[in-house]
Amino acid sequence: MAVEVELFGQLATHRPRRQAYVVTRPTTVREVAAALGVAEEDVGLVTIDGIQSEFEDPVPPDGRLCLFPFMTGG
């Protein structure tokens, strides 16, 4: 099965914005991000299937993982 991964903002600058990550065993957000070359310190928000999540949370094999950079504004 594959997790649908979407990267936003500068996280997608040198990587495909949308990609599939093949899951062969239980995995966490941390493992997926590392495999895609996304540093934890660059991520401000994580969602799994639209729900705010953390790096240690498990990613379901058919889920949608979104990684957002830190955001600023006023």
| Dihedrals phi, psi of 45, to nearest 5 degrees | -150, 135
CATH number of the domain bearing residue 43: 3.10.20.30
Count of domains for the chain: 1
The whole-angstrom separation of Cα 34 and Cα 52 is 19
Check pLDDT > 90 for residue 55: yes
Does residue 22 belong to any structural domain of this protein? yes
Check pLDDT > 70 for residue 74: no
User: For residue 50, what are the domain limits?
Assistant: 2-69
- Report pLDDT digits (tens) over 3-41: 999 999 999 999 999 999 998 899 999 999 999 999 999
Does residue 74 belong to any structural domain of this protein? no
pLDDT of amino acid 72: 72
